[in-house]
Amino acid sequence: MSVQLFRKGSIAIVAAAAVVLWASDLGDAGRVVGGLLLLVIGSEWLVTGSAALARSLGVSSLVIGLTVVAFGTSAPELAASVRAALEGEGELAVGNVVGSNIANVCLILGFTALLRPVPVESGVVRKDVPIMLVVTALAMLTFWDGTISRIEGGLMFLGIIGFTGAMFFAGRKETSLQLAADPPKSEPPSIRRGPVALRIIAGLISLVIGAELLVNGATGLATAWGVSSAVIGLSVVAFGTSLPELVTSITATLKRESDLAVGNILGSNVFNLFCVLGVSSLVRDLDVPPETMQRDAWMMFIVSAACLPILGTSRRISRIEGAMLFVTYMTYVTVIYFV
C-alpha cells in the first residue's frame, strides 16, 4: 500500500510541476484551470493518504467520510478562501464556501444518485444531517452584520475541533464494540506511515500552489467579465473546489461505499462553514455581500434542510431525487449570472 502511494505520488509531483509551468505562461483562464488541476491532484493525495492512515487507526468508513475525507476534500476550499482573504477578496472567500455547500448537496449528491441510487444509514438522518443544519444556521448568524469577525472565526474554529474530536473518538468506540462482538478472522494489513505522511504533505503543498493560481486567475476573470468576486466565488471557484468531493463521492458510490460518499458531503459542509470560514476570518475580517445573505445563504440552508426528507423517507437517494437536485443546481447557477 505505501509503495503504491509513493510511486503514484512521484508521478503526480512531476505532473503538478508541469501544470505550474503551463499555467504560468497563460492568462487568467489558464491560471484558473491550472489551479483547479493542482487542487484536484493535491486533494487526491491528501484524501487517499489520510484515509489509509485513519483506517490503520481503526475508524469506520462513515467516520472517515465525516472527518478525514471531508477535511481532505474541503482542503481546496480552505486553501482558496485563505488565499482570497490574504488578497483582501473577502467576497470571493465567502462565496466559495456558500457556493461549495450548495454544489455539494445539489450537484454532487444529485449527480451521484443519477448514476446509482445511494442508500443511507438511519444514523445519518438522526444525527449527522441535524448537525449540518445547526452548523449552517450558526454560520448564517455571523453573516447578519455583513462581516465575519476574527472573534466569530475563532469560535467557528473551536467548533470544528470539537466536532472532529467527537466524531473520531465516537467512531473508534463504535468500531471497538463491533470488533468485540464480531472479531475479524485475520489481521488487517499494516501500512508504513512514513510514505503516507509524505503523500499528505505533498498534497498540502499542491493545494497551496493551486489556490494561489486559482484565486489570482478568478479575480482577473471577474474584472474582465464585469461580474462581482462573489458571483465568481459562488460559481467558478465553488465548482472547482468541489471537484474532489464529486470525484470522491462518485468513486465511493460505484464501489458501494455509500457511507463514505454521504459522510463526505455532510462532513465537507460542516468543515467548509466552521473550518474554512473560521480560518479565513482569522486571517482577516471577511465582508459578506448583501445579496449573499439575502439569496445565497438562504439557498444553502434550504438545500441543506432538504436533506432531511430526501435522506429520511426511504433511507436512500433515488434517481428521481438526484435529478431534482441536479436541476436545482443548474437553475441556481443560471439565476446568479443572469437574474
Q: What is the pLDDT at residue 3?
A: 43
Query: Which tens digit of pLDDT belongs to each residue from 151-201?
Result: 999 999 999 888 888 877 776 666 666 655 666 555 555 667 677 777 777
Q: What is the pLDDT at residue 66?
A: 64
Q: What is the pLDDT at residue 232?
A: 84
Q: What is the pLDDT at residue 5?
A: 45
Q: What is the pLDDT at residue 6?
A: 45
Q: Are 316 and 120 in contact (CB under 8 A)?
A: yes
Query: Which tens digit of pLDDT belongs to each residue from 126-151?
Result: 788 899 999 999 999 999 999 999 99
- In the predicted structure, residue 208 carries a pLDDT above the cut 90: no
Q: What is the pLDDT at residue 1?
A: 41
Q: What is the pLDDT at residue 321?
A: 92
- C-alpha closest to that of 289 among 329, 217, 219, 233: 233
Q: Please identify which residue in the block is written with the cell numbers 480560518.
A: 279
First vs last C-alpha separation in the chain: 50
Query: Which tens digit of pLDDT belongs to each residue from 264-295?
Result: 788 889 989 999 999 999 999 999 999 899 99
Q: What is the average pLDDT across 24-47?
A: 74
Average pLDDT of the chain, as a whole number: 79
Query: Which tens digit of pLDDT belongs to each residue from 36-70?
Result: 777 777 777 776 776 676 666 666 656 666 666 67
Find out if CATH 1.20.1420.30 is the number for domain 2-183+191-338. Answer: yes
Q: How far is CA 45 from CA 42, 55, 153, 232, in A?
A: 5, 16, 28, 27
263/100: higher pLDDT: 100
Q: Are 242 and 108 in contact (CB under 8 A)?
A: yes
- Of 84-98, 171-185, 302-316, where does the model show the most confidence? 84-98
Q: Give percent above pLDDT 90 in the chain.
A: 27
For the chain, the structural domain boundaries read 2-183+191-338
Query: Which tens digit of pLDDT belongs to each residue from 79-90?
Result: 889 988 988 888
- In the predicted structure, residue 225 carries a pLDDT above the cut 60: yes
Give residue 312's identity as a one-letter amino acid code. G
Q: What is the pLDDT at residue 241?
A: 77
Q: What is the pLDDT at residue 135?
A: 94
Q: State how far the Cα of 31 lies from the Cα of 213, in Å rounded to an integer.
A: 5
